[in-house]
Structure formats: C-alpha cells, structure tokens
C-alpha cells in the first residue's frame, strides 16, 4: 500500500505538527516503565530537526475522559524524550486555550515542543471540527507517526488532515509496509499466532485470515472461547460467551478452506484465586473448579514445529496470564520459537510486547508493531481511518 511519507521538501524549515504515540506504561512512582514507544518515534523527530524544522508533538496517554488528570500528564515523557534527544523538550499545557498558538509561535527554530495529553480535551475523541482547525494553527505541515492510534477517528489522527498537508512518518510507513506485505505477499507457509483477550476483534481477524494463512494457532482467552464452542469444558476459564456463535461460524469455515485452525493440546490449569499449584492437563480434561492460565509443554513443542516450517509468522497476544510468573512459560516459548525460526517475524499488541525482556532475542524479530488493536484492524480490513485520511489529504 502506498501512502505519502514525509520528505525533506515537505518539512524543511517549517513548523511541523507530529502525532506520536507516547502512551507508555508507568510504574507506581509515575516513572516510565518502558520507553520503547518513545524510542520508536526518534527517527522521524530527528529527521525533522536535521532539516531545520520545528516539531510540535501531540500524543495521548491513558483514558482521562476529556479532562485534565495529573496522573496522566506527559511531563515524564517530555523529560525522557529530552534525555534521548539530548535537548530540552518544552511541555505545552492548556493547548486548547487561545494563548496556545502565540506561545508555540514564539518558540525558536529547532525547539521541540510536546503538547500535554491530547485526550485532556473532549474534542479529541469526538473528532471535533473546531478542535482539528485549532490544532492545525500550530504548524504548516502535519505528520502522523502514531500507527497505534491509526484505527481511531480522532481529531489528531483524522480531523486535522482536512486543514494541513499531511504525511506519514517513518514509523507509520514501516508499520504499514511490514504488515501489509506480510499479508499480501507472504513467504509461505504463513503462520498466524493469536492469543490474549479482545476476543471479538481477534475472531474477526481469524475469520478474515483463514483465506490467507496456512496455519492459525490459538492460545489465551480467545482459545477458551473456541474450546467452549466445541462443547469442551474449560472450568472457570475466561470465555466470551457472546462470541460463541461467531466462533462456531469460523470453525465451520475452517473446514472448507486450506488453512489449519489449531488449538493447544494441553493447558496449564489452576484455581480462580491461583492459590493452587499449577498443573498440566489435556485440553479436554479441565476440572470444573479450575481454569486455563497458559498453554502446556506439548502445545509449545507443537507450535515450535509450525514455527520452524514457516517462512512468515505474525503473532498478536500472549498465550496465558503472563503477569504471573507461573504462567509465562507458554508466551516465552513462543517468543523463543519466533526468534529462532528463520522466518520473517512480526509481533504486536501491548500485552505481547510487555512480556519481552530478552533484548538478544528481540533483536532477531524483524518487526515489533507499536499497535495492538490497530494491527488487528489493519489485518482484518486492509486499511485504517488514519491511512485513508493521509491518502486523501497529502
């Protein structure tokens, strides 16, 4: 898919409004727990600075419901970004006020400004036309480098493109190229691994990609829903009962296409309070008082075999309750399998990425997507609202 990507001619010497995704996770002391999303935005920001542009950055963090929330301030992000760039980053508070524009225009060339949490203003999520026009006054050009929000029809992702020449940043373009090519012209076999929750979104992706993938392997809560659809008892496991009928339709479709839809042979079970010692059981013998919290060792070996055969692998969602060390083995096994597979590998989803701590193995992954839901919707529909906005308003 061709989308307009930022060039020197488009931004040299200009003030550039950049939508970034600094929705980072914070520790209890309000320090940044993982700065990967900030680092991913550096190439575009540094490109603008190299060409004498003045970046004005906008991002959200969390869900402040359209009003200021000190716990979700981007002040810590401004500090960390400044450390990474080696220069001060000016935090612009009350960006929605009438005096915001003169404050930004007073900034000297080469200054990096970061507007406070864009979701502090209710017009962001409602895609308010006035707010989009207000933001456009901050700059001459708009660059979207926030693929993780590209599925949102918000003022800072779609609305603003009506008022400024608009381009994709380098991260955004790379996301679209990597995921798009992996689906449109993959090396085969293509292995799709789907775990985690968000069952409605993921069942739609599974349904769409049954016609594309060679093998689809399921884990996490989404696998529980398919077990329940088969009439298999999953005890107290998390199941999306509203999606049973759609899962049944997907299972029926899987019998009529070339793709293999695989569920784990064995699972790790415990009680709902997770005080019982975990044990491994065949998928069809989960006691009523216990629930599934991870895939088992047989499933891990089976999945590793599929990974060794594959030429392209896309993974979204952990295999179990990774927050508890007792249930991380399945997810860690999948990560190792991908890193050692030799295939073109793409992983995405906030939960998936947060489980990765081995930087050596991470370096063997071809692409780590910054978008979870955006990645899923792009795989399902082949485009996103922010992509269409860029194509229409370059």
Whole-number pLDDT of residue 90: 94
Residue-level pLDDT at 34: 80
d(CA 151, CA 263): 29
Residue listed under structure tokens 């005096």:
99
Ranges under pLDDT 70 in the chain: 1, 272-274, 349-359, 394
For CA atoms 243, 63, 20, 361, the dihedral sign is negative
Q: How far apart are CA 24 and CA 27, in angstroms?
A: 10
Question: What pLDDT is stored for residue 124 in this prediction?
Answer: 96
Which CATH superfamily does the domain covering 8-172 fall into? Answer: Phosphoglycerate kinase, N-terminal domain (3.40.50.1260)
pTM, to two decimals: 0.89
325-to-131, 147, 296, 328, 330 alpha-carbon distances in Å: 45, 30, 14, 5, 11
Report yes or no: 170 and 291 within 8 Å, Cβ to Cβ: no
Sorted by where each begins, the domain ranges of the chain are 8-172, 186-381
Domain formed by 186-381, architecture: 3-Layer(aba) Sandwich (3.40)
The token duo for 224 is 């529980």
pLDDT score, position 295: 96
pLDDT at position 273: 67
For the chain, the straight-line distance linking the first and the last C-alpha, in angstroms and rounded, comes to 15
pLDDT number for residue 184 = 92
Rounded-to-integer distance, Cα 391 and Cα 85, Å: 30
The pLDDT, as a whole number, for residue 5 is 96
CA separation for the pair 361, 338 (Å, rounded): 9
> What pLDDT is stored for residue 255 in this prediction?
85
Output the pLDDT for position 356: 63
């Amino acid at each position: 898919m061709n989308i307009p990507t930022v060039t020197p001619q488009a931004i040299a010497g200009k003030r550039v409004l950049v939508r970034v995704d600094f929705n980072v996770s914070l520790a209890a002391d309000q320090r940044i727990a993982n700065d990967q999303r900030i680092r991913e935005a550096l190439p575009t920001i540094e490109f603008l600075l190299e060409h004498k542009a003045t970046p004005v950055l906008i991002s959200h963090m969390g869900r402040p419901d359209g009003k200021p929330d000190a716990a979700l301030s981007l002040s810590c992000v401004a500090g960390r970004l400044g450390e990474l760039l080696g220069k001060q980053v000016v935090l612009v508070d009350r960006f929605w006020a009438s005096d915001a524009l003169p404050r930004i225009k007073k900034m000297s060339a080469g200054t990096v400004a970061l507007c406070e949490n864009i979701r502090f203003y209710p017009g962001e999520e409602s895609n308010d036309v006035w707010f989009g026009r207000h933001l456009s006054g901050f700059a001459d050009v708009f660059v979207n480098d926030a693929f993780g929000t590209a599925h949102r029809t918000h003022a800072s992702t779609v609305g603003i493109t009506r008022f400024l020449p608009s381009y994709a940043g380098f991260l955004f373009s790379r996301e679209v190229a990597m995921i798009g090519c992996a689906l449109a012209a993959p090396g085969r076999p293509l292995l799709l691994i789907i775990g985690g929750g968000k069952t409605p979104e993921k069942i739609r992706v599974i349904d769409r990609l049954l016609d594309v993938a060679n093998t689809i392997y399921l884990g996490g809560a989404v696998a529980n829903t398919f077990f329940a659809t088969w009439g298999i008892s999953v005890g107290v496991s998390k199941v999306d009962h509203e999606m049973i009928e759609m899962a049944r339709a997907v299972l029926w479709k899987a019998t009529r296409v070339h793709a293999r839809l695989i569920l784990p042979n064995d699972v790790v079970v415990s009680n709902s309070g997770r005080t019982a010692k975990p044990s491994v059981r065949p998928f069809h013998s989960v006691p009523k008082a216990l629930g599934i919290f991870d895939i088992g060792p047989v499933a891990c070996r089976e999945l590793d075999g599929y990974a060794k055969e594959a030429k392209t692998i896309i993974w979204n969602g952990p295999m179990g309750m990774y927050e508890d060390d007792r249930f991380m083995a399945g997810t860690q096994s999948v990560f190792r399998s991908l890193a050692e597979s030799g295939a073109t590998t793409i992983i995405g989803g906030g939960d998936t990425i947060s489980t990765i701590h081995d930087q050596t193995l991470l370096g063997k992954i071809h692409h780590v997507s910054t978008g979870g839901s955006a990645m899923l919707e792009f795989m399902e529909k082949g485009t996103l609202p922010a992509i269409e906005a860029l194509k229409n308003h370059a």
